[in-house]
Amino acid sequence: MPRPQQTVFERNVPARAVVDHALGTARQAVLWLDDLGERAGFPALTASTSADIAVVGGGYTGLWSALHAKQRHPGARVVLVEGRSVGWAASGRNGGFCGARLARDDDYGRGRPPDESDPLTRLGQENLAAIGAAVVDLGLDCQWERTGVVDLAIEPHQIDRLLDAAARAARAGAPHTFLDRAKVRAEIASPTYEAGLVRPDAAALVHPARLAAELARVASDLGVEVFEQTRVTGLARAEGGARGAVVLRTTTPAGEATLLADRVLLATSAFPSLLRRYHRHALPVYRYAIATEPLSTALLGAIGWRGRQGLADVAHRSHHYRLTADHRIVFGGHDAVHPYGGQVSRTYEDRPATFRRLAEHLLTTFPQLEGIRLTHRWSGAEDVSTGSGAFFGQAAGGRVQHAAGLAGRGVSGSHFAAQVMLDRLDTLDGAPATERMAATVRHASVPFPPEPVAAAAVRATRRALDQADHQGGRRNALLRSLDALGLGLDT
């Protein structure tokens, strides 16, 4: 085995005191939710009721589902139930990169290469454009910025990968620009950058929690009935009543009730599926982020970054970072933790060692930030499937639709998944199958193995990703086998 090489973060560790100073003020709280402040909220479901379409889950997937259901069927009674509050989970905690990619393709030799012939590639661009149009048409006040992204080589061995990706983009007619070391550092002043690939069409940035809150506001204005603090504890086919209807049992702080629904959309993400058969189709994985205080004009000037693009390095254990509207840096990635047994629990949210590493890596990336304070550190669970795209399931002859496994592509993928679930419901009324539905079949996933095998597989994959970063980017046999099978644990 070749001797491990240190990464740029191990070669240039910031002084301990500088990291201590930065971390000293970081509260365990989600910047985006803090920034949202108090909002009125929605009532809990206190009496049994019925709906034409019931949606479970008040993250982006559920919210887009409810919104589009109402737009497609204005006369239908659409009810959304959320166990806690709208947008409290991954949808209020993410990095806000709203990307054009819907599947786990990778330009940089870290997995399956992108397949330009896959309809999902084009559908992904259309999906991003549709979200942008919805932001304008619906008046969503969510700090939408069509900045694109810059992918960054932070080790010399990563430069060729950017060049390959640039050549592929040129052949496909994509407007991507390769920046060599001098040019990328002139654009964004980091001593860790070896090269960059500017991809203006790859993503927009958004304020995650605002997007969720605004979707809920608009859905409610359109007539969707939204209930918070209302957890669905189970579902069953209705007996006696409407043929084929489904009963959702709900619980709230005030007691229990039922929701009788003709059709149901399950958008519960990393939380246990209400359909037993899909319990192992998506695993929760915790991801971590930190935020700085607002940067002064002088500090911003020293860094550059005038295009405010989303930034991501192309290491196997990559980092993603961006500016906020008030000029903070939100910096995340690198670490990901799978809770044993797939339990979503607050105990996984506070990992001091992970936050310290993120703070170190931020200060290595931008040494100009010496003396800066971090204000927030937080974590959230995203849902990872084994397939290269989201996972879609159904029950009750198609009356219950379920989407999960959006992982780190859920900001845009949720909009697409909602449309696919609604397309699938509409076929019950004779609507033809759509291209969207067909495109997702190609990316079908298989269930994860039970514990302790799942945890061991995740551990082995994490080790392999770390090794690849210490061995010139070379992927070991495990990662190459996962690539060949189209299986991924490598979010």
Ligand X SMILES: Cc1cc2nc3c(=O)[nH]c(=O)nc-3n(C[C@H](O)[C@H](O)[C@H](O)COP(=O)(O)OP(=O)(O)OC[C@H]3O[C@@H](n4cnc5c(N)ncnc54)[C@H](O)[C@@H]3O)c2cc1C
Interface residue with ligand X among 32, 42, 88, 448 (CB under 6 A) is: 88
Interface residue with ligand X among 42, 55, 61, 78 (CB under 6 A) is: 61
Contact positions with ligand X (CB under 6 A) in 164-203: none
Of 127 and 364, the one with the shorter C-beta distance to ligand X is 127
**Residue 89, interface with ligand X (CB under 6 A)?**
yes
Of 196 and 332, the one with the shorter C-beta distance to ligand X is 332
**Residue 339, interface with ligand X (CB under 6 A)?**
no
Of 82 and 360, the one with the shorter C-beta distance to ligand X is 82
**Residue 90, interface with ligand X (CB under 6 A)?**
yes
Using CB atoms within 10 A of its CB, is residue 303 exposed (0-12), middle (13-18) or buried (19+)?
A: middle
**Residue 387, interface with ligand X (CB under 6 A)?**
no
Whole-angstrom Cα distance, residue 312 to residue 409? 14
CB 82 within 8 Å of CB 228: yes
Whole-angstrom Cα distance, residue 408 to residue 312? 13
Interface residue with ligand X among 162, 247, 406, 464 (CB under 6 A) is: 406
**Residue 382, interface with ligand X (CB under 6 A)?**
yes
Contact positions with ligand X (CB under 6 A) in 93-112: 93-97, 99
Sign of CA dihedral 246, 247, 249, 252: positive
Binding mask 215-234 for ligand X (x = CB under 6 A): ----------------xx--
Whole-angstrom Cα distance, residue 89 to residue 57? 10
**Residue 408, interface with ligand X (CB under 6 A)?**
yes
Interface residue with ligand X among 9, 32, 42, 60 (CB under 6 A) is: 60
**Residue 284, interface with ligand X (CB under 6 A)?**
no
Closest separation between CB of residue 357 and ligand X, Å? 15
Whole-angstrom Cα distance, residue 193 to residue 182? 9
**Residue 420, interface with ligand X (CB under 6 A)?**
no
Spatial CB neighbours of 221, under 8 Å, sequence gap ≥ 6: none
On the question of a cis peptide bond just before residue 253, with omega within 30 degrees of 0, the verdict is: no
Residue located via tokens 């605004």: 214
Closest separation between CB of residue 199 and ligand X, Å? 15
Whole-angstrom Cα distance, residue 26 to residue 369? 15
**Residue 321, interface with ligand X (CB under 6 A)?**
no
Closest separation between CB of residue 359 and ligand X, Å? 16
Of 19 and 411, the one with the shorter C-beta distance to ligand X is 411
Interface residue with ligand X among 114, 393, 410, 473 (CB under 6 A) is: 410
Closest separation between CB of residue 375 and ligand X, Å? 16
Longest CA–CA separation in the chain, Å: 72
CA angle 272, 273, 279 (to 5 degrees): 80
Closest separation between CB of residue 2 and ligand X, Å? 33
Whole-angstrom Cα distance, residue 33 to residue 28? 12
Contact positions with ligand X (CB under 6 A) in 252-271: 267-271
Part in contact with ligand X (CB under 6 A); list of ranges 87-95, 159-167, 334-342, 422-430: 87-95
Closest CA relative to residue 208, chosen from 294, 144, 285: 144
Whole-angstrom Cα distance, residue 365 to residue 181? 14
**Residue 290, interface with ligand X (CB under 6 A)?**
no
| Chain position whose Cβ is nearest to ligand X | 410
R_g over Cα of the chain: 22
**Residue 348, interface with ligand X (CB under 6 A)?**
no
DSSP state letters, 312-332: EE-SSS-EEEEE-TTS-EEEE
Of 292 and 368, the one with the shorter C-beta distance to ligand X is 292
User: Could you tell me whether strands 310-313 and 231-237 are parallel, antiparallel, or unpaired per DSSP bridges?
Assistant: unpaired
**Residue 409, interface with ligand X (CB under 6 A)?**
yes
Whole-angstrom Cα distance, residue 462 to residue 456? 10
Whole-angstrom Cα distance, residue 404 to residue 88? 17
Residue located via tokens 């206190």: 46
Closest separation between CB of residue 124 and ligand X, Å? 11
Total residues at interface with ligand X (CB under 6 A): 42
Q: Which residues bind ligand X (CB under 6 A)?
A: 56-62, 81-84, 88-91, 93-97, 99, 231-232, 267-271, 274, 287, 289, 332, 380, 382, 406-412, 414
